[in-house]
Each structure stands twice: as C-alpha cells, then as structure tokens.
C-alpha cells in the first residue's frame, strides 16, 4: 500500500504551523511509510512549501491543496452561488479559513479569479500538481437549498438549454414536501441514484454535467501549466447531490480521493452528511442507513468496499480513498484499529493507495507507528512490515 499524506497549513491568512513543525512531521512519517505524494495547503506563506519541496526525495510528488468553488472569496471577489429561488446559499463555518461558502461554477469571472490565485501566489514554487478541493455545491448542511444550486441567471440558462424548467422544479418542491420531491427509488454503487420524480432526476443529472463541463475547463488551464491533477470528492452515495459524477470526473484527473470519513462529525463526514440529509428531507426513506457501531463509525467495512470497488474497476485513474488519521475529541475520534481497518478495506476494494487525511499535523504519531508495523496489504489482509517490526 502506498500513501499520500495531507497537511492543512491553515486558511489563506491564518498559519497553523511553523515551517519547522511541518518539516519534522513529514520527515517522521516518510521514514515510516511508503509515501507517494504530499498534499499541502493553502496558507499564503510560500516559504513552507519551498522548504517541503527541498526535503522531498525525487519519488515523492508535491501537490498544492487548492479550494476551487469555495474559500477563494476571502482573497478575491467571487460571485456566490444562489439557490433556484435566487437566494445566496448559507455558508458553514468549520474553522477560521474554512467557511464552506460556495461560488457559482459557471461564472467566467470566478474561473479567472481561481486561476489568478494560483498564478500570483503559487506558480513559482515548483509543485508537481494541484489537488482540487471544493469542486462541488453546498451539501444538505445548507438544507435543500444547498442541493438546489447554483440557480443564478447564468446557471438557469444552462439548465434551460438542457430542457430543465426551474419553474417546474420549484413547483414540485413547493407542492410536495422535500422528502417526496427527492425520494430515492433505488441506489447502487455502480449505477448511482434513481429518483422517483423524473423532473428532479433531470435536475440532479444536469447539475453533474454542469460541474463536469466547467471543471474540465479549469483542469485544462492547470494542465497547460504543467501540473498533474488530484481531486477531492464526496463518498459515492452523496456525490451526485453536490454535482459530482465521480465516474466522469475520473477521466479528468490523475488520482481521485473519495472522502471515506466514517468517524468525522463535520462536513464530508458520512454520518454528519447523511443526518443533514435526513433532517433536510424530513424522512429517512431518502437516506442510506449505513451501518454503525458503538465507536461512532458510520458505514461498516463491507459498505466501504461496496462504495469504492466500482470506481477501482473503471481503471480511469488511481483511486486513493481518504481515511482520517487526525484526532479531535469532538469531531474525529480516530484510533489505530479504525485506521488499519479502513486501509484493509481499501485493499479489499482493489485500491493500491490511500490518502491519510485530512491533517497529518494533528495525527497522533502512535497512529502512524501502529499502521507502519503492518503496512502492506496482500490478498485482503495485513502482512508484517519487516522495516518496522
């Protein structure tokens, strides 16, 4: 198993760690694990990234962690996403520098500002690639309004050209409760969501095409700058709601990281997002009842494998599921056994790599040492790592 490690240096203006702290953590982890990539960002102190670039061996790639349709508004003027009624989508403040305020994916000025941030702040550092985060709409944490976005005039024109009538979509939501409007007829990890209401099916399907088209244009610009591409996406069940057709996105990227956050009580966490969905729709008929246990793990390992396996089987790009290694008493109570179980499940799904997420700086070293002793996955089981007995 190969590892990508992910470090959040802080929002644009709030630096969380010193250069010395970051270098020490990377040196410790690369000594224990077979690290393939380092993803780091997105604070504006470029000295940290230059220093990391200098210490990495030639076989470890350096990716800039870069938010696309969120967070940019803190340093550049951006058009905020609207719902289909024309109202701004509410943000969700997780921590300083991460507001989860989402922007219109269609607006050309937004695209220019996204690329300008990279060119002005990061182009000279020598990154091998960019890891594109927030490539979606708001989720159910913004209620149904978050899902029914963006509905600005530019996006409404896109939907209209595709035969989607916003007036009819609004009528259905208004005249029936939200749970009925978005009732799921069936779901499979290979075929995705099928909605009972054809009009809503059309909206959700077209939303994915809208994001795919505009993201492809941004990816093309980054590739023209000589950069490889990585992508952060929701766990497959929830991805379609936020505008992500993972099977199609895989055609644009070198590797993709489904956020398989089974112990995270924060945005992108499986339990957090599915509960927000149930609350927004007012019914549990519309959510997947993933299994859980007394340790707070949402989605058992069989379900974890089922979500990932169809992605691996496409062979479109590397699939590296995100597994939390950082610890926080309130929002992400990880331990070594949970991490090992997730890595094992990833191997059983056919993955040859994982991303240790989402902030290596907050990962207890005992977690890293524990998995380093049994790091290889062979035929669906751990084998001892002779380097770290």
Average pLDDT along the chain, 389 residues, taken 10 residues at a time: 96 96 97 96 97 96 98 96 92 67 97 98 98 97 94 97 96 88 90 94 98 98 98 97 98 98 94 90 61 73 95 96 96 93 94 96 94 62 51
pLDDT at 182: 92
Q: Is the pTM of this model over 0.85?
A: yes
pLDDT at 286: 47
Nearest to 200 by CA among 226, 221, 179: 179
The continuous run of DSSP H or E covering 186 comes out as: strand 184-188
For the record, the structure tokens of 57 come out as 């061996």
For the chain, which domains are there? Answer: 2-383 (3.20.20.80)
pLDDT at 287: 47
pLDDT at 389: 42
- The helix/strand/coil state of 5 is strand
Nearest to 233 by CA among 214, 217, 250, 210: 250
178 and 144 Cβ atoms separated by less than 8 Å? yes
Question: How many CA atoms within 13 Å lie on the side-chain side of 269?
Answer: 21
46 and 125 Cβ atoms separated by less than 8 Å? yes
pLDDT at 95: 59
Calculate helix-pair angle for 336-348, 301-314, nearest 10 degrees: 40
pLDDT at 372: 85
Question: How many CA atoms within 13 Å lie on the side-chain side of 154?
Answer: 15
């Amino acid at each position: 198993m190969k590892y990508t490690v992910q470090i959040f240096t802080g929002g644009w203006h709030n630096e969380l760690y010193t250069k010395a702290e970051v270098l020490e953590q990377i040196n410790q982890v690369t000594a224990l694990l077979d690290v393939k990539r380092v993803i780091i960002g997105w604070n504006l102190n470029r000295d940290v990234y230059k220093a990391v670039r200098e210490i990495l061996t030639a076989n470890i790639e350096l990716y800039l962690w870069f938010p696309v349709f969120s967070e940019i508004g803190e340093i550049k003027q951006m058009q905020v996403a609207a719902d289909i009624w024309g109202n701004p989508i509410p943000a969700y403040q997780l921590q300083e520098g991460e507001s989860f305020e989402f922007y219109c994916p269609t607006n050309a000025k937004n695209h220019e500002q996204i690329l300008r941030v990279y060119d002005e702040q990061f182009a000279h550092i020598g990154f091998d690639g960019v890891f594109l985060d927030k490539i979606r709409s708001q989720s159910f944490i913004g209620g149904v309004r978050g899902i029914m976005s963006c509905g600005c005039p530019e996006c409404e024109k896109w939907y209209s050209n595709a035969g989607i009538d916003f007036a009819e979509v609004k009528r259905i939501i208004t005249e029936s409760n939200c749970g009925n409007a978005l009732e799921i007829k069936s779901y499979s990890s290979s075929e995705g969501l099928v909605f009972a209401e054809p009009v809503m099916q059309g909206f959700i399907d077209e939303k994915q095409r809208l994001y795919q088209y505009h993201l492809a244009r941004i990816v093309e610009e980054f590739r023209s700058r000589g950069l490889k591409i990585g992508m952060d996406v929701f766990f497959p069940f929830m991805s379609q709601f936020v505008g992500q057709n993972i099977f199609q996105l895989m055609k644009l990227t070198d590797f993709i990281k489904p956020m398989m956050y089974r112990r995270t009580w924060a945005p992108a966490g499986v339990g957090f997002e599915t509960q927000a969905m149930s609350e927004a729709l007012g019914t549990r008929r519309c959510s997947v009842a993933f299994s859980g246990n007394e340790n707070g793990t949402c989605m058992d390992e069989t379900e974890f494998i089922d979500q990932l396996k169809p992605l691996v089987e496409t062979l479109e790009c590397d699939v590296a599921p995100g597994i939390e290694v950082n610890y926080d008493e309130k929002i992400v109570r990880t331990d070594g056994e949970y991490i090992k179980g997730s890595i094992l499940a990833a191997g059983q799904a056919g993955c040859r790599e994982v991303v240790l997420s989402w902030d290596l700086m907050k990962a207890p070293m005992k977690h890293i040492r524990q998995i380093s002793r049994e790091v290889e996955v062979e035929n669906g089981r751990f084998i001892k790592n002779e380097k770290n007995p």
